[in-house]
Amino acid sequence: MTMAVLDPNRLREDFPILAERVNGHPLVYLDSAATSQKPQAVLDAVVDYYRTANANVHRGVHALAERATDTFEEARLRVARFVDADPRGVIFVRNTTEGLNLVARAFAEPTLGSGDRIVVTEMEHHSNFVPWQMLRDRTGVELAVAPLGDDGRLDIEALTRLLEPPTRLFAVSHVSNVLGTVNDIASLTRMAHRQGIVVCVDGAQAVPRLPLSLAQLEVDFYAFSGHKMLAPTGIGVLWGRPELLEAMPPFLGGGSMIELVTPECTTWNTIPHKFEAGTPDIAGAAGLTAAITYLEEVGMPAVQAHEELLTHYAYEVVGEADDVTVYGPPDGDRSGVLSFNLRGVHPHDIGTILDRNGMAVRAGHHCCQPLMRRLKVAATVRASFALYNTREEVDELARGLDEVRRIFSA
């Protein structure tokens, strides 16, 4: 049964690591945009797979192989249901980065070349920036960067001009991992599709915190990572339109992705298996299924509402101080992330002092150096929230920043 209103104190009991103490203090974990913590149900699912079903998937005729295959393929169906998408398009990868590289290598490289253009945005994580630069260097395709306004949102007027011929592919994040900006992917996709442009979305920060329907968004490719949505590291998903996947060559060659191999030639397996060479992360898939079950039981609307309330509270408690600069859209128009700087103090110093008091935040460029250049800073402090965070932890963050102020004023 889903929760109408999320109770983080109740949910915290499900996450063993949150009972840890760090440097003598209770752990305050505010780094879920980098990786989320895992509930006991996910830990149990991984162990249970190794205890009761450890074997390789597909083609095995013994009982354990059948259990492992059922575990793996059930995960595919659960992912498809969770994001409301055709299961034929669910490809298991290691993470968002691998999924986006797969699109660059197997779709864009054979399809695009000199005279074509790819558009990315200034807010992109390096995972959705560097693969397109590498493709540009290999093929001569043009790469254009859509600018942001001072409010941390896309400059739609400038983007509209870029989404015209010769643009063939538009790569954009659903939610910015630095700014918390939530892009209107449905609207952007319609804009791009009117020009015949393929849309590739980095959904790493969206899937953990927003109710999602890929069928309604009508995107062409959508990538996300399990480890940001309560699942283990090493398992991720690229969803692609089946008709595009059918036409694409494989990304990697080897076992499982083949139909027939002879000394003269090789033919490919059906989708999505054509893109899943070698032994996959079966235990990770078991953990991903458990994570999805957990999120469904809590309810994604409740997760979204809770994280937006926490972000609003953090903006009030932390962001409105005179010596704090907050980056991104105004309060009430961001999701799960508060990136900021404290006047006169380097973000790494802030992160170090907070860690001494048991607080985990991220300090650095967050794999978004083009965005840091746009913001005219080298780095920021980022506090990011999940369903297990509380208002009291935001208060601890504010007290921690007061300690930073005291140390540096002395």
Distance, C-alpha 126 to centroid of its chain: 12
Are 234 and 342 within one domain? no
Are 234 and 88 within one domain? yes
Are 289 and 307 within one domain? no
Residues 6+ apart with CB under 8 A from 123: 148, 152, 154, 173, 176, 178, 179, 181, 368, 371
Are 13 and 56 within one domain? no
CA 381, CA 376: separation in Å to the nearest integer? 14
**Contact call for residues 311 and 338 (beta carbons, < 8 A):** yes
Q: What CATH number does residue 339 fall under?
A: 3.90.1150.10
pLDDT value at residue 3: 62
Positions marked catalytic: 367
User: For residue 353, what are the domain limits?
Assistant: 8-30+299-409
pLDDT value at residue 59: 80
3-state secondary structure of 126: helix
In 3D space, the residue among 388, 178, 205, 186 whose CA is nearest the CA of residue 295 turns out to be 388
Are 18 and 103 within one domain? no
Q: How many CB atoms neighbour CB 148 within 10 A? A: 22
| This model's pTM is above 0.95 | yes
CA 155, CA 147: separation in Å to the nearest integer? 6
pLDDT value at residue 2: 63
Where a domain ends, among 236, 265, 296?
296
Are 257 and 333 within one domain? no
Are 78 and 22 within one domain? no
Q: Is residue 36 part of a domain?
A: no
Q: pLDDT (tens digit, 0 to 9) for every residue of the chain, 410 residues total?
A: 466 789 999 999 999 999 999 999 999 999 999 999 999 999 999 999 999 999 999 988 899 999 999 999 999 999 999 999 999 999 999 999 999 999 999 999 999 999 999 999 999 999 999 999 999 999 999 999 999 999 999 999 999 999 999 999 999 999 999 999 999 999 999 999 999 999 999 999 999 999 999 999 999 999 999 999 999 999 999 999 999 999 999 999 999 999 999 999 999 999 999 999 999 999 999 999 999 999 999 999 999 999 999 999 999 999 989 999 999 998 777 889 999 999 999 999 999 999 999 999 999 999 999 999 999 999 999 999 999 999 999 999 999 999 999 999 97
**Contact call for residues 180 and 337 (beta carbons, < 8 A):** yes
Q: Is residue 3 part of a domain?
A: no
Are 70 and 188 within one domain? yes
CA 350, CA 363: separation in Å to the nearest integer? 8
Q: Is residue 174 part of a domain?
A: yes
Are 206 and 120 within one domain? yes
Strands 167-173 and 117-121: parallel
Q: Is residue 38 part of a domain?
A: no
Q: Is residue 22 part of a domain?
A: yes
Number of compact structural domains in the chain: 2
Where a domain ends, among 239, 270, 296?
296
Q: Is residue 331 part of a domain?
A: yes
Are 374 and 397 within one domain? yes
* Burial of residue 58 (number of CB atoms within 10 Å: 0-12, 13-18, 19+): middle
- The alpha-carbon radius of gyration of the chain (Å, integer) is 22
Are 287 and 364 within one domain? no
Where a domain ends, among 296, 315, 348?
296
| Residue 3, both tokens | 């929760």
